[in-house]
Structure 1
Amino acid sequence: MAFYSEDDKAEDYLFKIVLIGDSAVGKSNLLARFARDEFYPNSKSTIGVEFQTQKMDINGKEIKAQIWDTAGQERFRAVTSAYYRGAVGALLVYDISRRQTFDSVGRWLNELHTHSDMNVVTILVGNKSDLKDAREVPTVEGKDLAEAQGLFFMETSALDSSNVAAAFQTVVKEIYNILSRKVILSQELNKPGAPELGNGKTVVLQGDGNQEGNAETKKGCCSS
Structure 2
Amino acid sequence: MLRKRLMGLFVFAALAASCGNGQNKKNDDKTLDSTDQKPLTTETSKKNILFFGTSLTAGYGLDPTEAYPALIQNRIDSLKLNYKVINGGLSGETSAGGKGRIDWLLKQPVDIFVLELGANDGLRGLAVAETTKNLQDIIDRVKAKYPNVKMVIAGMQMPPNMGAKFTTDFKNIYPTLAKKNDMALVPFLLDKVGGIPKLNQQDGIHPTAEGDKILANNVWVVLKDLL
Give the TM-score of the pair, scaled to structure 2.
0.48
Name the structure where helix makes up a greater proportion of residues: 2
Give the TM-score of the pair, scaled to structure 1.
0.48
User: Which one has the largest radius of gyration?
Assistant: 1
